[in-house]
Amino acid sequence: MELTRFAPIKNLLKNRYPQLALFVLMLAGFVFAILAGFIGTPVGSHNFSIVFVWIAWWAILIMVAVPFFGRGWCAVCPIPVVGDWLQRGAVLEPAAKTPKWLNLRVPAKFRNMWMQNIAFTLVALFSSVILTIPIVTSVVLAAMLFLAIGLSMVFERRAFCRYLCPVGGFIGLYAQAAPIELRIKDKRVCAQCVGKPCYNGSELGSGCPWDVFPGGLTKNTYCGLCMECIRTCPHDNIAVNLRPFSADLAKPSVRLDEAFKAFIMLGAALIYAYVLMGANGAIKLVAYSVFTPAWFTYAGVFLAVIFILLPGLYWLFVKAGNLNQALSGKYFAIASTPLIPLGLMFWVAFSLSFVLTNASYILAALSDPFGWGWNLFGTASIPWQPVLSSLIPPAQTLALVGGLAWAARVAQKTASQINISSASVIAYCLALTSLMLWLLL
Amino acid sequence: MKRSERLTRFIITAALFGVVALPLALWAQTPLIHASVAESGGWSPDVLRAKVGEPLHLRFTSDDVVHGFAIGQMDMQPVEIEPGKVSETILNFDKPGIYTFFCTRWCGLNHWRMRGTIEVTGGTDDPQPASAPLYVTLGLDLDAPHPAEAVPVETPSARRGMELLRLITNQPTYQSPDYYRSHSPSQVFQDLSASGLTDSQRWDLVAAIWAQNTTLEALAEGQQVYAQNCAACHGETGGGDGVFADDLAVAGEASMQAMSGSMEMSMQAPADFSDPQRMYGASPALLYGKILRGGMGTGMPMWGSIFTNEQIWNVTAYLYSFQFDYSK
């Protein structure tokens, strides 16, 4: 269903000011979070930077934004916006015809998801520290902000979002499962369009910041929903549609960088469930003690699980079920498509426990964001109390079993496209789901 | 540049400036005393200033674990300091001087070193000159070994000793506080060598002399102070095997020397008060001095600025309960 058929929605998306207002609000919150990490209490559970970034924002991102709006978060993310403005030399106006900065094209070998995979893995390896120490969170956030600005000065468009953002990679991967998409209405219009302002820009707006030609969009992975193409299209040929969940997965990706993103996300969810949510205090301490010999062992195991064990096992599973089928990189990538909904639901299940367990910190941090004894909204003294804790295990079970069913359905569709048996893929998903259930419950 | 562009830029700049400047301004006006384990710096700031007669409003927050705030030698309810939260107290000083504040919770291995000072000036009272502690007057070397020349075979009983004490009432010297404080049990045992009593009786008499120089209330207070402040290293039963003893033995020197301003340390195992050689060879004045002054770089903190004189004497009396049966 085309949402942009409705005039209020279309006007809302075309108008630059609502999005700009959200950008400014988000940017102010982002800067505030960075500041809180530097000057607020070092106690993570009482510092705005930790509570709002890793509890509130993460909950909204992984449980609402990504599953239902795909890259909806990217549409209002404050990290690239300063770089965008500097790159264009304007806040509202489109870029000048003569670039203000270097405006280089990102080298071809980096135009993929590998850098994002590495960036996410690095953040994941240090997550025990990043997620608990406000000043470390602030350093990471500030680094992302300045990296985004720096890359905007050197490269054209949003190089940071597209090729480096550790969050953007998995959002793009899971956005394929979301029931919302931006697509063109009629290919012929795009083909005949002179100047392609949606990609090259016009006086109405910038060319696609995500380096995507909307006329060729077939999946959500690399569309940041920034809505610039809706503003620049002279033919009103861009639509935002509601669609069934996981519609993009019917056209599987053949790229190994995307396939490995799925393994990285699956592995990270499993390891987090064991390390962060488990009862093993010693392993938590090891994960926290960065750069110690024990931590290097932990890092080695982490990397081995996500880059070798899970993909290797998957290859063996698929191969075992299809002994006569050659399983090249392309086929392997296609065969790993079911891991996208599976991984998404792993993250939903994992996040449910720590978000609901720690949600009460949000109200306290709202009133006292720096831990300085303020009580802005009268909620500063609300004690820590898990929320809906009795619902967590059934909700997690539902998410994981639902994810398994979803993955199985995708596996059946994908398998038929490359003539392999879906049974071994489903068996792999079942094994991992059982492991995740055991770890979380 | 269009007017809308200019206006938008102004709004964005103002919003970002406000988001940064406002908290920074408030930060500068929100002085907090940060508490963190001694290895991470202890109190910050650790030197405060106040004036006699002017209330001192203090606001605390903990940067890591639960801490407590109290001022040495002052009868006050400790302030509980929770991580990420702010606690407050108002203090009034009626005398000038340098007061020591300290953490009252077992917060970490070097909890005992988590201290700071409040310099109180003003007032009309002239500072009273401090009198030299007894161990100085007696010329005792606190760091010299003090093995007992003799130790009892069985635990001396104050009750049995009391009956004997009545028989030697013609020798009140033994019962005077000065004599008790300046002599070790072993010395008293030797002094009683001409009494005609058996060794066992003489040890019972020593126990009675020690019991006579304290009270049940004083022992109870000594026990409480010991449990709160000493037992973590020296052990609940005085065996030198408190919950921190092993960790201190492993990490003590390194962790102490990692603290800012620390001197060269040579970690020693906590004293074992159940060791007869150590206890029967130590006079109350010697133990008092060790508690008051501390171990001077051995890991034993100085308590002179925290405990009152009375508390130190009470702890000293309590320490002998690891050797004597005080029950009368």
Contacts B64 to A, Cβ<8 Å:
42-43
Residue type at A399? A
Asked if the model's pLDDT at residue A235 lies above 90, the reply is yes
> A147 with A266, same domain?
no
- Give the least confident one: A164-178, A297-311, B164-178: B164-178
A372 touches chain B (CB under 8 A): yes
Contacts A37 to B, Cβ<8 Å:
none
**Which of A157, A175, A193 is the C-terminal boundary of a domain?**
A175
Rg value, chain B, Cα: 26
Complex prediction ipTM: 0.86
CA angle B301-B307-B313, nearest 5°?
100
The Cα of A422 is separated from the nearest Cα of chain B by a number of Å equal to: 51
> What pLDDT does A325 receive?
77
A41 touches chain B (CB under 8 A): yes
Q: Measuring CA to CA, how many Å separate A387 from each of A194, A390, A391?
A: 56, 9, 9
The Cα of A96 is separated from the nearest Cα of chain B by a number of Å equal to: 12
- Give the least confident one: A68-82, A356-370, A379-393, B246-260: B246-260
> A273 with A164, same domain?
no
In a domain, A211, yes or no: no
The Cα of A365 is separated from the nearest Cα of chain B by a number of Å equal to: 10
A88 touches chain B (CB under 8 A): no
> B207 with B311, same domain?
yes
Provide the token pair at A281: 């205090």
In a domain, B278, yes or no: yes
A143 touches chain B (CB under 8 A): no
Number of H helices, E strands in chain A: 23, 2
Q: What is the enclosing helix (H) or strand (E) of B102? A: strand B97-103
In a domain, A293, yes or no: yes
The Cα of B33 is separated from the nearest Cα of chain A by a number of Å equal to: 11
Q: pLDDT tens digit string along A220-234?
A: 999 999 999 999 999
A93 touches chain B (CB under 8 A): yes
In a domain, A245, yes or no: no
A238, β-bridge pairs: A184
The Cα of A299 is separated from the nearest Cα of chain B by a number of Å equal to: 26
> A19 with A167, same domain?
yes
> A372 with A264, same domain?
yes
> B314 with B175, same domain?
yes
**Which of A122, A149, A175 is the C-terminal boundary of a domain?**
A175
DSSP secondary structure, B50-61, as one string? EETTS-EEEEEE
In a domain, A372, yes or no: yes
> What pLDDT does B134 receive?
94
The Cα of A160 is separated from the nearest Cα of chain B by a number of Å equal to: 22
> B59 with B161, same domain?
no
Contacts B23 to A, Cβ<8 Å:
32, 35-36, 39, 370
Q: Measuring CA to CA, how many Å separate B68 from each of B30, B42, B59, B125, B155?
A: 20, 12, 12, 30, 38
> A22 with A140, same domain?
yes
Q: State how far the Cα of B193 lies from the Cα of B191, in Å rounded to an integer.
A: 5
A183, β-bridge pairs: A239
CB contact under 8 A, A93 and B2: yes
> What pLDDT does B252 receive?
59
Among the partner residues B12, B23, B63, nearest to A24 by beta-carbon distance: B12
Q: Measuring CA to CA, how many Å separate A229 from each of A13, A97, A163, A196, A303?
A: 10, 18, 20, 10, 39
CB contact under 8 A, A39 and B27: yes
A394 SS3 class: helix
Contacts A27 to B, Cβ<8 Å:
12, 15-16
In a domain, B320, yes or no: yes
> A286 with A154, same domain?
no
A135-162 mean pLDDT: 97
In a domain, B19, yes or no: no
In a domain, B1, yes or no: no
On whether the CB atoms of residues A166 and A119 are closer than 8 A, the answer is yes
**Which of A128, A159, A175 is the C-terminal boundary of a domain?**
A175
Residue ranges making up the domain that contains A368: 250-440
For B8, name the nearest residue in chain A, comparing CA atoms only.
Answer: A91
Task: Name, in order, each residue with C-beta under 8 angstroms of A174's C-beta and a sequence gap of 6 or more.
Answer: A66, A67, A70, A265, A340, A343, A344
> B72 with B208, same domain?
no
> B262 with B173, same domain?
yes
Please choose, from the candidates B93, B103, B109, B61, the residue with its C-alpha nearest in 3D space to the C-alpha of residue B245.
B109
Structural domain tally of chain A? 2
Please choose, from the candidates B36, B46, B32, B37, the residue with its C-alpha nearest in 3D space to the C-alpha of residue B115.
B46
Q: pLDDT tens digit string along B15-30?
A: 999 999 999 998 888 7
A35 touches chain B (CB under 8 A): yes
Among the partner residues A31, A90, A93, nearest to B16 by beta-carbon distance: A31
Q: What are phi and psi of A337, to 5 degrees?
A: -55, -40
CB contact under 8 A, B11 and A24: yes
Q: pLDDT tens digit string along A257-289?
A: 999 999 999 999 999 999 998 888 999 999 999
A212-217 mean pLDDT: 94
Percent of chain B with pLDDT over 90: 71
A28 touches chain B (CB under 8 A): yes
> B264 with B117, same domain?
no
Q: pLDDT tens digit string along A58-80?
A: 999 999 999 999 999 999 999 99
A193 touches chain B (CB under 8 A): no
> B159 with B290, same domain?
yes
Task: Name, in order, each residue with C-beta under 8 angstroms of B85's C-beta and a sequence gap of 6 or more.
Answer: A46, A371, A373, B61, B62
Among the partner residues B1, B16, B84, nearest to A41 by beta-carbon distance: B84
> B85 with B140, same domain?
no
Q: Measuring CA to CA, how many Å separate B124 from each of B50, B53, B55, B92, B127?
A: 15, 11, 17, 15, 9
In a domain, B66, yes or no: yes
DSSP secondary structure, A181-211, as one string? EEEES-HHHHHH-SS-HHHH-BTTB-S-TT-
On whether the CB atoms of residues B110 and B253 are closer than 8 A, the answer is no
Confidence of residue A241 (pLDDT cuts 50, 70, 90): very high
Structural domain tally of chain B? 2
> What pLDDT does B151 receive?
94
Confidence of residue B218 (pLDDT cuts 50, 70, 90): very high
On whether the CB atoms of residues B102 and B70 are closer than 8 A, the answer is yes
Asked if the model's pLDDT at residue B124 lies above 80, the reply is no
> B136 with B98, same domain?
no
Best of A24, A31, A41 to substitute, by most chain B Cβ atoms within 10 angstroms, is A41
Q: Whose structure tokens read 């064990």? A: A309
Q: pLDDT tens digit string along B269-294?
A: 889 999 999 999 999 999 999 999 99
Contacts A91 to B, Cβ<8 Å:
5, 8-9, 12
Provide the token pair at B176: 């005077």
Q: Measuring CA to CA, how many Å separate A178 from each of A76, A244, A403, B20?
A: 17, 8, 14, 36
Residue ranges making up the domain that contains B276: 130-328
On whether the CB atoms of residues B108 and B38 are closer than 8 A, the answer is yes
Q: Which CATH number do you get for residue B285? A: 1.10.760.10
Confidence of residue B159 (pLDDT cuts 50, 70, 90): very high
**Which of B99, B121, B143 is the C-terminal boundary of a domain?**
B121
Q: Which CATH number do you get for residue B45? A: 2.60.40.420
Asked if the model's pLDDT at residue A46 lies above 80, the reply is yes
In a domain, A203, yes or no: no
In a domain, A338, yes or no: yes
Rg value, chain A, Cα: 22
Q: Order of strands, edge to edge, in the sheet holding B33-35?
A: B43-44, B33-35, B56-62, B86-91
Backbone angle region of A122, left / alpha / beta, with phi > 0 → left and psi within -120 to 50 → alpha: alpha
Contacts A20 to B, Cβ<8 Å:
8
Provide the token pair at A92: 């509202």
Q: State how far the Cα of A239 lies from the Cα of A180, in Å rounded to an integer.
A: 11
- Looking at every residue in chain B, the average pLDDT score rounds to 89
> B100 with B138, same domain?
no
A392-398 mean pLDDT: 96
The Cα of A313 is separated from the nearest Cα of chain B by a number of Å equal to: 42
Backbone angle region of B81, left / alpha / beta, with phi > 0 → left and psi within -120 to 50 → alpha: beta
On whether the CB atoms of residues B38 and B259 are closer than 8 A, the answer is yes
**Which of B71, B94, B121 is the C-terminal boundary of a domain?**
B121
More confident residue, A441 or A312: A312
CB atoms within 10 A of CB A212: 20
Q: State how far the Cα of B133 lies from the Cα of A328, in Å rounded to an integer.
A: 86
Q: Order of strands, edge to edge, in the sheet holding B79-81?
A: B47-51, B115-121, B97-103, B67-71, B79-81
In a domain, A169, yes or no: yes
Among the partner residues B5, B16, B26, nearest to A28 by beta-carbon distance: B16
Please choose, from the candidates B201, B101, B189, the residue with its C-alpha nearest in 3D space to the C-alpha of residue B151.
B189
CB atoms within 10 A of CB A294: 13
> B198 with B316, same domain?
yes
Q: State how far the Cα of B7 lies from the Cα of B17, in Å rounded to an integer.
A: 15
> A263 with A382, same domain?
yes
CB contact under 8 A, A46 and B83: yes
Helices (H), B103-212: 134-137, 158-167, 177-182, 185-191, 199-212
CB contact under 8 A, B85 and A373: yes
> B48 with B196, same domain?
no
Asked if the model's pLDDT at residue A43 lies above 80, the reply is yes
Q: What are phi and psi of A84, to 5 degrees?
A: -60, -50
Please choose, from the candidates B292, B269, B310, B11, the residue with its C-alpha nearest in 3D space to the C-alpha of residue B142.
B292
CB contact under 8 A, B63 and A92: no
CB contact under 8 A, B20 and A45: no
CB contact under 8 A, B2 and A91: no
Among the partner residues B12, B23, B83, nearest to A370 by beta-carbon distance: B23
In a domain, A344, yes or no: yes
**Which of B77, B92, B121 is the C-terminal boundary of a domain?**
B121
Q: What is the enclosing helix (H) or strand (E) of A96? A: none
The Cα of A135 is separated from the nearest Cα of chain B by a number of Å equal to: 12
For A382, name the nearest residue in chain B, comparing CA atoms only.
Answer: B85
> What pLDDT does A97 receive?
80
Best of B4, B19, B107 to substitute, by most chain A Cβ atoms within 10 angstroms, is B19
A86 touches chain B (CB under 8 A): no
Question: What letter does residue B133 receive in the DSSP assignment?
Answer: P
The b-or-e profile of A325-346 (16+ CB within 10 A means b, else e) is eebeeebbbbbbbbbbbbbbbb
Please choose, from the candidates A164, A332, A150, A137, the residue with its C-alpha nearest in 3D space to the C-alpha of residue A252.
A332
